[in-house]
Amino acid sequence: RGSVARGRQNEEILGGKKDRFSYFLKYCLFVCNLLFTALGLVVLGLGMWGLITKESFAQEKIGSIGTDPMLILVSLGLVLTTLCLSGCVGAIRENYCLLKLFSTMVLVLVTAQILAAILAYSLQDQVGNYLRSGMLAAMARYQDDLDLRFITDEIQSNLQCCGADNYHDWEINIYYNCSAPGVLACGVPATCCVDPLENGTVWNSQCGVGAQQLDEFTAQSVIFLGGCLGGISRWIEHSPLTFDEGGIPPGLKQTNKNNQTPHRKSEFTNGRLLF
């Protein structure tokens, strides 16, 4: 009898630990998904706000709404909200169908991301040409499309670059072309500048004026000389979601600096991303 009682007592203790652990996982999953649901709603709201602010639903603009960059935010917000809301409700209600939907959607997204990375790696030439043409098209419409201007500025300021291949690419813009009549002629946007702030406080929007007329030695103290395609290539290479030639993510790869040769930097040459 004593051994049976002790056995039951041990089972009750183990059962209590399992219950506490399952409750912890349940509410941890709920809180995480709740936070990401809120994030998805914010992203969705920003996308809708952008479309409404630009009057993209107006009759004369509705035909070109399919090319509006704000749709990326709307789509991302919808997917994120739907995915996390199903996980949130499924966790708190212990609904098997919703949890199964959540896990299936996560698996599909991860698989799609891996397949996209493999496809992009195998089609480096086409991806490189697409990036170059897209960057040049955005630069050509820099003054006319606020969305493209914002995206271009963010890329140049965060990657500390200028133009697609170099700062002379801004010749493609009619306002920065050296034959243009305005004050911007032969210049580059302020986001190309090494230090766009005067006295560290005031934004100097004219810091890139005349930069295309400077030689590289003089220009390097004023603007970033390198193009953004090389910066994008290096960013992709060092992303923890990409893989090297051995199939190992760089973020998980431990290196010995004393015994291992330096990792080869990625470059963007002749329309091809080199990893």
pTM of the model as a whole: 0.60
CATH topology of domain 125-275: Cd81 Antigen, Extracellular Domain; Chain: A (1.10.1450)
What was the pLDDT predicted at 10?
Answer: 55
From first to last of its 275 residues, what are the pLDDT tens digits of the chain?
Answer: 555 555 555 555 555 556 677 778 888 888 888 898 899 899 999 888 878 877 777 766 677 667 677 788 889 999 999 888 888 888 888 888 888 888 888 899 889 988 988 887 788 778 788 889 989 999 999 988 888 888 899 899 999 999 999 999 999 999 999 998 888 999 999 999 998 876 667 778 888 899 999 888 889 889 999 899 988 888 777 765 554 444 444 443 433 333 333 333 334 444 455 44
**Number of other residues whose CB lies within 10 A of the CB of residue 252:** 8
What was the pLDDT predicted at 67?
Answer: 67
What are the domain boundaries of the chain?
2-122, 125-275
